[in-house]
Structure 1
């Protein structure tokens, strides 16, 4: 087969696009981990201006570094927490935030440039064009959300809003989930029947629950709620601790009360683990020899490992290393849960794989 002929080979096109999406997924994984480290090291407010193009270049002279530090001195975080910070200490937090922003720009280029190439060369199936454009648009929105998050900590607060932090993290996970969904549809499937009529719906519910749990984890991070009540299984001496609802209105406790936020994250995690366990048991009981049932076992193992990592992270009072492992494993659980859900639909129809013919 010549190179020209391979351009119009739907199978080859699908493989190429899957490889590209896998690389983008790994880049997003790295981006979220660096973002987590930026949060854990309190580095996220070190760059106080949004310069999408010029911001790629870090300070190159001592005068430029002093200028950046002077901008940082104007915000509440410096004035109330880091007053007197040396230039070398400032550089440490600056490099974390700069690396996070650079990676974000890199992910955008890594997605947009190959997308244009595959599109213009006729390798993208028509039914995939709108979803891929949607993912690109979400990436642009994510850049805006990131700056919107940062601005919440530049005037009246010493840190960013937990609402905006959780939104920023969750949108990154939505983008990752969308990429996994498209990529899984391009992959070969076994053709095994679903264990039951409700299996696909349950898998979808689990994937959504994982995303909700990640959002709750973002609230925990935004409020530093993991730094208190570092015992398990009891919390403040009880399974259901007292004084969970001290704020008014009641709903504010689920977003602004650190104790309630940690409790909610814990118990929603238990609910997720139980849902995955039931899904696995039901699938193995009805169709133990199918790939769908085997995936439920892998999913249960992943969720159990993630729960264990979360407990250790809490008991250790959220060291950076364990917190990042916890965050990274959450992304792995989400990606697998979405892939598991997508697998019930089978591969995209071969009739949809319309590629441009050359020559």
Structure 2
């Protein structure tokens, strides 16, 4: 009996990046019919992996951001000796390649990153122009070195069970009788990626007047933002920030009629759930990390100063989000909801201000 080709992937720590890694898993299963895929990831991203049918097993990554813990990495690597034929390392840090090296896995694949020659014996050089999107940079690691990336790259797709949806509704005391618009006003990287609370509040007032229920999603860190939205809106909203696990957030987002979101991890989750998405971009670039769905509409003013990729506005005016008002977003919502499912994604066309 032929043994299975055992692959370990060292996954990213960010929620959005974890979603964008799924096309790599799809390609690996396509190329290796006998593959058994294990993904090593932080605890908080495991609910995503549980909803990816390509992932056969998970391994907890116990190392926090920036923590070297060389002895612990050596012990974990040694415990994995002989368990895998290949390791693919998605983060570009030196530390993330140590466990694969200590494991002695025969094939260790990844980008050169922080001078990882030796740690990786299948070290690739990234051509950013040939691979402009993050999802492409992950997916090409399924290919042999030097082989071009087959396009199109399959989009991420998360699977949710009806019983999980119902359990999440019951746990939070929610009803999906009215069509739900989900707001995702957070962005882990910093405030420059966040649409102002007063704009979300104005949009919430308009949507509730049209018969929609508005649910606010986010972590405990987003509570101040969601509370501000609810207070300024002055209409009944469901503030779920800090009240859900990531698993529950995924299951509840899958019920949304529409998702309005900053460029964030939850944006990528919503796109992978094939929900209609209106994605708001200011300091970041929709050309690098767009929502990977033909049901997404991107809204950006494309100002001369953006994308700046800064955590806070370096010019102090924050025009890229301040001037992106609720009228523009409401128009994008109308376009999104009237586009038939399966319609090819429209090319990204920035809004030009007069």
TM over 0.5: no
If the length of structure 2 is used for normalisation, what is the TM-score? 0.21
Higher helix fraction (1 or 2): 1
Higher strand fraction (1 or 2): 2
Q: Relative contact order (alpha carbons < 8 A, sep ≥ 6): 1 or 2 greater?
A: 1
If the length of structure 1 is used for normalisation, what is the TM-score? 0.21
